[in-house]
Amino acid sequence: MEELLDILKDMKPGVQFENEANLIDDGILDSLDVMNLSVILNDEYDIEITPLDIIPENFKSIESIYALITRLQED
């Protein structure tokens, strides 16, 4: 989770990701951010996020992103 937080802060400096539960609805992550983040996560965690995983529910908070990574690593 620490590492993921670093990645997110690197991408969007100044955002308190720990306290955000609505990253998408609040407009903190826009369309290109979600795309970029998926590419980075694939790279860093050696997973394959497919378009089917790219839905708002999986990106709404740092916890949900972490859960997505964990699930894909187990697959």
Partner 1 sequence: MKNILEYLEYSTELYKDKIAFTDEENELSYRKCLNDSKRIGTYLLKLNKKRKPIAVLMDKNVESLTCFFGIVYSGNFYVVIDSKMPQDRIQKIFETLEPIALITDHKYEELATSLHQHVCIYEDMMSTSINEEKLQMIRNQMIDTDPLYALFTSGSTGIPKGVVISHRNVITYANWFVNTFDINNHTQFGSQTPFYFSMSVSDVFSTILTGATLHILPKKLFSFPVKLFEYMNKKKVNTIYWVPSALCIIANLKVLDYVDLPYLEKVLFAGEVMPTKQLNYWIKKKPHLMYANLFGPTETTDICTYYIVDRAFKDDESLPIGKACQNCDVFLLDENNQEVLDQSEGELCVRGSFLAMGYYNNLLKTKEAFIQNPLNHSYPEMIYRTGDLVKYNDRGELIYITRKDFQIKHMGYRIELGEIETAVSSLEKIQSSVVIYDRKQDKIVLIYVGKISEEDIMKGISQKIPQYMYPQIFIKTRNLPYNQNGKIDRKWLNDHYLELKEKK
2 binds partner 1 (CB under 8 A): no
- Give the DSSP letter string of 23-40: TTTTTSS-HHHHHHHHHH
Stretch that binds partner 1, among 14-22, 47-55, 67-75 (CB under 8 A): 47-55
When binding is defined by CB under 8 A, the residue of 5, 21, 35, 67 that contacts partner 1 is: 35
What's the CA gap between 51 and 48, in Å, rounded? 10
What letter does residue 19 receive in the DSSP assignment? G
Binding residues vs partner 1 (CB under 8 A): 7, 10-11, 24, 29-36, 38-40, 42-43, 50-52, 54-56, 59
